[in-house]
Structure 1
Amino acid sequence: MSKIMDYEAVRKDIAAALKKPDYDDGSLGPVFVRLAWHSSGTYDLESDTGGSNGAGMRYEAEGGDPANAGLQHGRAFLEPIKEKHPWITYSDLWTLAGVVAIKAMGGPDIPWQGGRTDMVDDSKVPPRGRLPDGTQGADHLRFIFYRMGFNDQEIVALTGGHNLGRCHGDRSGFEGPWVTNPTRFSNSFFKLLLELDWKPRKLATGMTQFVYEDPDAEEDEEPLMMLPTDMALKTDPSFAPWVEKYAKDKDLFFDHFSKVFAKLIELGIQRDAQGTITNTDNKMGGYTSAPKKSNVATGPSKSKGEPRARL
């Protein structure tokens, strides 16, 4: 067990756990990034509710949202680290895991501060429907991200996280990777979005995604894919210039992504001059961690008619 607030020890254990040959493309990095993303992306600027503080995904009301399908695996993979460092809150662990994963996969350093406190009950879990729906277009993206306080440039930069990971038909309804190396952070997402000839394809799940099939690909090589929300980035007159800039300039993208991801995981958090979080929902006060949960992944409930999301 590490000393309380020894975040560096936690960082090292997260980095050591990333390699997982039998999971997806051999790395837990992408699911950790998505966990950090989804645990933070419920924030509402007007009501100052949601966000990473509290780790509401521990409760069915948030964890059971179909938009969070598959993240039970990411949470379970972090349980051994929670067991080794029981003092750390889930809300700090989940966001730190995303930051460590991005760097380990070749991405930029992301500023991160600890101090988030876990909720003691589900009374302040944000309502469902605050996460993006990949079937939609530019208006939907603005509706979701403007609510959190992001502008058009930040929306495009944050979507660049699609350089990592893949979609799963049994989770989001979409299927496949965005890029050829989904465990390496780069600006390939933007390059491919602009350069390849994307064709719509209706899936067995009933969803439509866009695919590129390389005529020179091996027989068992799966095609790359894009979501309808991704395609909206290159057609919308405000989003498109940023897609072009990030495709041409990896350093610019890395710089902007670092800033916007750091903003994402701090949404709704207020700190004093010493960096201590002052707006905690924990009735006990202070830096109090929730007890460890099971290492077994339990999936979200799926209600018919609820939108699926994967951004």
Structure 2
Amino acid sequence: MAPPFGDFEAVKQDILAILKNKDYDDGSIGPVIVRLAWHASGTYSKEDDTGGSNGAGMRYEEEGGDPANAGLQHARAFLEPIKKKHDWITYADLWTLAGVTAIKAMDGPEIPWKPGRTDFSNTKYVPPRGRLPDAAQGSDHLRHIFYRMGFNDQEIVALSGGHNLGRCHKDRSGFDGPWVVNPTRFSNAFFKLLLSLKWEPRKWDGPFQYSAYAPGMDEDDEPLMMLPTDYALIQDEKFRPWVEKYAADKDLFFADFSKVFAKLIELGVYRDEDGIARCDKRDEKGSYRSAPKKSDTATGPSRI
């Protein structure tokens, strides 16, 4: 019996149609959609095989209400009309497909994506809170978080390149501002700016972050920013060489980012021979189960 998949290409086209949005941030919902895919996947722990992109646990307060997920109710709401139109698709597939589609649409690399994730019907497999990065920390924290998922130092730096997109919001994370001059175009500018600009502590009433102006900007422009976890990449002797390589070679960065993001969105996905993921690899054979809409979860102070 063939899996009950519908037309993923039609879903992709509908995602592309909503990405440009003049009323949201810098004119695109793409960056927050990418963040949704990343946060939905980044809860994985290789120690006990829990978390990951399978299940779409963010529909539940237990995961969606994690302070690190503040603001992602906007991303989920943007995708809800597409879920309603294509009600056969699971949220877990929709969120990850939307993420890779948005990256490509913003001039990023093609990222391999496979369908088959199911949606949890209850909170049994929802991972505990606190597994996502705290941007106020340093390199030891980054390794603790990403090693738990199964990533190495090179992959940590490559994934950090996702900060070529989007911005922080004071009313969500407490941090504020974009990392790069054009936050809706995927590039290796994050690494170039991290190395080349003079980053100084921002003097303001928010949490500690770094601030700088790129060439051609003046003091009337919104300054660029880096988080403590970003700056740690050039302070750490093992992270820094990869920052330098990606700053010098856009093609290398794109190739490595494609591989590591594809790995990220497969975390916690255990597929049967037909490609359908089980709720848990210890469960019986999986089924492609699309969940009904869950109400938006509470928000709190995000950590990225």
Place the TM-score, normalised by the shorter chain, in its bin.
over 0.9
Using the alignment, how far apart are the partners of 2:216 and 2:164 within structure 1? 22
Gaps of 5+ in 2: none
The residue number in structure 1 matching 2:73 is 72
Shift of 1:270: 1.7
Counterpart of 2:299 in structure 1: which amino acid? P
Q: Which runs of structure 2 are paired with 1:250-261 in the superposition (5 Å)?
A: 250-261=250-261
Q: Distance in 1 between matches of 2:208 and 2:238?
A: 24
Distance 2:220 2:17 in 1: 31
Match of 2:54, as an amino acid? Answer: N
Query: What is the number of residues matched between the two proteins?
Result: 300
1:54 equivalenced with 2:91 (yes/no): no
User: Match for residue 24 of structure 2?
Assistant: 23
Percent sequence identity over aligned pairs = 70
State the partner residue of 2:88. Answer: 87
- Segments of 4+ moved more than 2 angstroms: 213-220, 271-285
Question: Which residue number in structure 1 is paired with residue 277 of structure 2?
Answer: 277
Equivalent residue number for residue 229 of structure 1:
229
Measure, in 1, the Cα distance between the counterparts of 2:216 and 2:112. Answer: 41
Structure 1 match to 2:162: 161
**Structure 1 residues 32 and 283: CA distance shift in structure 2, 3 A:** farther
Unpaired runs of at least 5, structure 1:
303-307
- For 1:292 and 1:279, the matched residues in 2 are separated by 18
Is the counterpart of residue 209 in structure 1 residue 216 in structure 2? no
Which stretch shifts more, 267-276 or 122-131?
Answer: 267-276
Structure 1 position 269, deviation (Å): 1.3
CA contact (8 A) 2:202 2:210 kept: yes
5 Å-filtered alignment, 1:28-47, equals 28-47=29-48
2:56 touches 2:91 (CA, 8 Å); kept in 1? yes
Q: Which moved more, 1:138-147 or 1:122-131?
A: 122-131
Secondary structure, aligned partner of 2:202: strand
Show the counterpart of 2:111.
Answer: 110
Give the CA deviation at 1:266: 0.2
Alignment partner, residue 246 of structure 2? 246
Separation of aligned partners in 2, 1:279 and 1:69: 25
1:279 Cα deviation (Å)? 5.0
- Matched residue type, 2:229: T
Distance (Å, rounded) in 2 between the aligned partners of 1:112 and 1:185: 18
Question: Under a length normalisation based on structure 2, what TM-score does the superposition of the two structures give?
Answer: 0.94
Task: State the Cα RMSD in Å.
Answer: 1.9
Instruction: Tell me the distance in 2 between the aligned counterparts of 1:22 and 1:268.
Output: 35
CA change 1:231–1:219 in 2 (3 A) is: closer
1:300 maps to what in 2?
Answer: 299
Q: Shift in Å at residue 204 of structure 1?
A: 1.8
Does the 8 A contact of 2:54 with 2:269 survive in 1? yes
Mapped contact 2:278–2:287 kept (Cα < 8 A): no
Q: Distance in 1 between matches of 2:269 and 2:22?
A: 36
